[in-house]
Amino acid sequence: MNSCAGAYARTARSWNMIPLNERFPLAGFHHSACMLALWLLLLPLAASAQDSRADRLPPLPQLRVELFEPAIRDTVSAAYEEARRKPADGEVNGRLGMVLQAHQQLESAAQSYQRASLLQPGAFRWRYLLGTVQAELGETEQAAESLQSALDRQPDYFPARLKLAEALFALGNARASLNLYEQLATEHADSSVLHYGLGRVHFAAGNLRLAERSYRRACEISRDFRAAHYALARIYTKLGDTAKAERHLALYRSSRGAAPAPEDPLMRDVVSLRSGARSHLERGLAHQDKGEIERAIAAYHEALRIQPDYVQAHVNLLAAYVSLSDWGKARQYYEKTVALHRDSAEAHYNYGIVLSRQGNRLKARRAFRKALQINPFYAEAHSNIGYIEAQDGDLELAAKHFRLALQHRPGYREAQYNLARVLMERNEFHDVIALLEPSVDVVDDYSPRLLHTLADACTRAGLFESGISYARKAAELAASLDQHALASQIREELNAAEKELSKHP
């Protein structure tokens, strides 16, 4: 805003706050005349400021609304038509930007946010949302400018400060990025994204120990943070710690998630505007990840109401009904999926689970093999075939499939455990030790069983001290994870082993 416009804005606000009897005093015509003259003088300045602002506005985005998916067309059309009716309304332009950003129309969203920012110069949110869009478009310098401009208006908004630190690092301004990250770390010590960003800055500067500390903290806060595990693997490789590097590389490959994003009310408002089949599918996945299967099913059905031939929604319903052991519904959605898309490896795999749970191993094996014909790298399908082969007594073929599962998904704990059991059956104790020892520090629900198996392998290979040490660790871990039956079993075995050892010192 130019200085005249700023002066006018301040005068106008003051004028509106003057009580009515003070605006027009009863005595002193000269005073009233002066005020009127001043108002008349300022009126052209106000018009000039508005005209100047309008001249700087980018044009409204040109949208072909008819090309949008039917489920979102009405939402976009309503926001667009309102912006065309009220082109000088900052709120309306900003709302259009939010709708467009929600549906990944990023260039058009940026135009709308630019208009809203000029029409509402004091507003924080339009500049912040503009910065998020520019960052997603790869316009890093513009994003940094928008985020800084937003923070000039609201300095304490954590997501904006975090995004600015990321942008500064991407622009090569490592010192400013480091300063901002370190300041944020004192205020938001529980943010894994923050510690990961700080680790990146330290790593780029060659400060490997500081980077390791930051990445490790990120992994402690968010155990499934894939990028942080990969970064730690790189650090430990450079530091020559091969065991830790391999462990974090395995965790990187087995993890499925990114770091949880910080609480961001403004972006939540944007996401809430999503409509269409895909948005319901994403909501369903979020519910399913939390174990809210019924709510996930409702979201998938809503996706199919909008788009009846949406294959992934059918596949997800099949998986959801498998989780509920509703075999009839699972079969129904398997048939619907393959009718739409015969080459869905995921559908054949999930139907294999249905058949396996019903005790039909022959047909289950056939379904898993179908999944592997479509996707030979499907680790879960290999693991389930391995389990069936082990049940049928073909330990060599079972071991082959478990190894393939681990090859395609390193760190896959179920396959690791089942392979270890097969190798124990074949008396290949040293192979079990080589398989399990690299992951002894990993803690999850499988850890007590794997440590118990490792202890058994060590003992039967003649490594009694190692066996007892691993057994003690397994018992402690089982108790800490509320696996009390397993903990009791291991303690009984430990007592018997220690008594036997005492007889043969």
> Residue 448 maps to which CATH number?
1.25.40
Q: Is residue 465 part of a domain?
A: yes
Cα–Cα distance between 380 and 28 in angstroms, integer? Answer: 90
Q: Single out the residue in 55, 77, 96 at which a domain terminates.
A: 55
What tens digit of pLDDT does each residue of 332-341 get? 999 999 999 8
Q: Is residue 458 part of a domain?
A: yes
Q: What is the pLDDT of residue 243?
A: 84
Residue 218 · residue 195 · CB < 8 Å: yes
Q: Is residue 176 part of a domain?
A: no
Residue 76 · residue 103 · CB < 8 Å: yes
Q: How confident is the model at residue 226 (pLDDT cuts 50, 70, 90)?
A: confident
Q: Is residue 123 part of a domain?
A: no
Taking 70 as the threshold, does the pLDDT of residue 9 lie above it? Answer: no
Which residues lie closer than 8 Å to 416 by C-beta, 6 or more apart? 402, 406, 435, 436, 439, 446, 450
Q: Containing domain of residue 49, as a range?
A: 3-55
What tens digit of pLDDT does each residue of 15-51 get? 233 232 332 233 333 444 444 344 334 444 444 444 4
Q: Rounded mean pLDDT of 121-145? A: 96
Q: Is residue 165 part of a domain?
A: no
Q: Which of 172-186, 244-258, 309-323, 455-469 has the lowest mean pLDDT?
A: 244-258
- Which is higher by pLDDT, 318 or 57? 318
Q: What is the pLDDT of residue 46?
A: 43
27 three-state secondary structure: coil
Number of H helices, E strands in the chain: 28, 0
Q: Is residue 308 part of a domain?
A: no
Q: Is residue 286 part of a domain?
A: no
Q: Rounded mean pLDDT of 364-371? A: 95
Residue 350 · residue 317 · CB < 8 Å: no
Taking 70 as the threshold, does the pLDDT of residue 5 lie above it? Answer: no
pTM for the full model?
0.56
- Which is higher by pLDDT, 258 or 65? 65
What tens digit of pLDDT does each residue of 87-117 get? 999 999 999 999 999 988 999 999 999 999 9
Q: Which of 47-56, 85-94, 212-221, 365-374 has the lowest mean pLDDT?
A: 47-56
Among 52-56, 137-141, 290-294, 441-445, top mean pLDDT goes to 137-141
Burial class (CB in 10 A: 0-12, 13-18, 19+), 21: exposed
Taking 60 as the threshold, does the pLDDT of residue 298 lie above it? Answer: yes
Alpha-helix residue ranges (DSSP H) falling in 171-255: 174-187, 192-204, 208-221, 226-239, 242-254
- Supply the mean pLDDT for the chain: 85
Q: What is the pLDDT of residue 53?
A: 55
Q: Single out the residue in 14, 38, 55 at which a domain terminates.
A: 55
> Which residue has tokens 């590097």?
245
Q: Taking Cα atoms as reference points, which of 425, 413, 423 lies closest to residue 449?
A: 413
Q: What is the pLDDT of residue 369?
A: 96
205 three-state secondary structure: coil
Q: How confident is the model at residue 504 (pLDDT cuts 50, 70, 90)?
A: low
**Total number of domains constituting the chain:** 2
Q: Rounded mean pLDDT of 297-306? A: 91
What tens digit of pLDDT does each residue of 419-439 get? 999 999 999 999 999 999 988
225 three-state secondary structure: strand
Q: Is residue 96 part of a domain?
A: no
Q: Single out the residue in 34, 55, 76 at which a domain terminates.
A: 55
Q: In whole angstroms, what separates CA 195 from the centre of its chain?
A: 16
Cα–Cα distance between 393 and 146 in angstroms, integer? Answer: 65
Q: How confident is the model at residue 445 (pLDDT cuts 50, 70, 90)?
A: confident
Taking 90 as the threshold, does the pLDDT of residue 355 lie above it? Answer: yes
